[in-house]
Structure 1
Amino acid sequence: MTEFTTSADGTRIAYSVTGSGPALVLVDGAMCYREFGPCKSLAETLADRYTVYYYDRRGRGESGNTLPYSPEREFEDLAAVIDAAGGDAFVLGFSSGGGLVLRAAAHGVPMRKLASYEAPFIGEVRVKGQPVDAIAELNKRLDAGRPDKAVDFFMVDMVGGPAFMPLMMRLMRPVFAQLKAVAFTLPYDTEIMTGFRVPVDELSRIRVPALVMVGGKAKPNMVAAAQGVADAVPGATHRLLPGQTHQVKDEAIAPELVEFFR
């Protein structure tokens, strides 16, 4: 069942709840939402230990999309979900959702403890070896009415996927249709990631216990990103999950969360 909370700017944010126990809020990464991404499955895995809240970030699923956008509005969205969860919650973010959680904590959004998995502070975006303005490149494609090309740019030039990935994605028509529908939110995640560089001064303001995780199969730049975040957050716990990629398995991450969220 879908429930709603209202963010500070009046935007309705849709969320789901499952399980029982201490409150845990899950935050998705780029182009993911409740029905398309890792949070629903993990929520079901953890439902025997936590009351798990997972939500549609603004512009996705059943949530609103009040403009103009800024990362601060998403910090407020997360705060509204935490408030709906009783105001005292553990929080986990995946990928750019991890960046969102970290930055929100630095801006004072109340959390009991936080965890991030592979927040992609992996350095500036480059095309053919030259740095590019990722937000401008995404918006150029979106303004031209080509959300498919924005997805391609994200998958290949930003994420570092193989050149044949766009063709493979188009063969999975229902999935690609879902990606195109939320492609306009890609600049949002890009803004949250602060040029994909670790915002050291900002993260140094975090005052809650933090768990920073990375997969054992991560690329060197992602390993360095996790280390950079762990170094920036005072007292952070750093964990490498053996054998895991960016699409971490529930059975690999759940024990780490249960151990840390006590």
Structure 2
Amino acid sequence: PADFRERIAAHLEAGRRDAAVKLFLRVVGVPGFGVFMMRLFPNIWPKLRAAAHTLPYDFGVMGDTQRGEALPEEWLALLARISGRSKVLVGGKSPDWMRHTCETVAAKVSGASLGVIPGQTHTISAKALAPVLCDEFLGGAHG
């Protein structure tokens, strides 16, 4: 919905953290069934609910980019000014718009490369992330 920011803010103002989190997840592309399942996992939903008050910060920083729109030209220009070895990581099961955004960032930043972590979503597990980071920082010298 076009008014999702206002609706999330209204939910938070009224103390409806669950409703705010559910709406946010739907806006960023989590299917309704996925949201339903997240609520059943005691190690996921309480953390999302506890961080609900930070949702407006996401929109303040990210603007409309979380809706699959192309990155704004001014962002692309800023990214092009960054140089240095960088690794842009994305889960292979992340929504298309997230993967496309990461591809764009990796292409714009001089010295950046894209890493796709197979089988992972936006919430990359530490177990899947650790070997990728070790390879990046230690050049594969891990055991």
Asked if TM exceeds 0.5, the reply is yes
Q: Higher strand proportion, which one?
A: 1
Letter in 2 for 1:189: D
Structure 2: runs of 5+ lacking an equivalent: 139-143
CA RMSD across the alignment: 2.5
Instruction: Report how far residue 222 of structure 1 moved.
Output: 2.1
Equivalent residue, structure 1, for 2:141: none
CA offsets 1:196-220 (integer angstroms, 9 cap, x no match): 1532122222233210122233332
Q: Which runs of 4+ in 1 moved over 4 A?
A: 172-175
Give the share of equivalent positions with the same residue, in percent: 37
Equivalent residue, structure 2, for 1:240: 116
Question: Normalising by the residue count of structure 1, what TM-score does the alignment of the two structures yield?
Answer: 0.43
Q: Does the aligned pair in 2 maintain the 1:213–1:226 contact within 8 Å?
A: yes
Letter in 1 for 2:60: E
2:79 to 198, 203, 206: 203
Q: In structure 2, what is the Cα distance between the partners aligned to 1:189 and 1:213?
A: 19
In structure 2, relative to structure 1, the CA distance for the partners of 1:164 and 1:241 (3 Å cut) is closer
CA offsets 1:20-66 (integer angstroms, 9 cap, x no match): xxxxxxxxxxxxxxxxxxxxxxxxxxxxxxxxxxxxxxxxxxxxxxx
Question: Normalising by the residue count of structure 2, what TM-score does the alignment of the two structures yield?
Answer: 0.73
- 3-state SS in 2 of match to 1:261: helix
Letter in 1 for 2:84: V
The yes-or-no answer on 1:180 pairing with 2:49 is yes
Structure 1: runs of 5+ lacking an equivalent: 1-126
Q: In structure 2, what is the Cα distance between the partners aligned to 1:212 and 1:178?
A: 25
The yes-or-no answer on 1:157 pairing with 2:33 is no
Aligned length: 131
In structure 2, relative to structure 1, the CA distance for the partners of 1:144 and 1:232 (3 Å cut) is same
Q: Does the aligned pair in 2 maintain the 1:134–1:190 contact within 8 Å?
A: no
Q: In structure 2, what is the Cα distance between the partners aligned to 1:153 and 1:231?
A: 31
Letter in 2 for 1:186: L
- 3-state SS in 2 of match to 1:236: strand
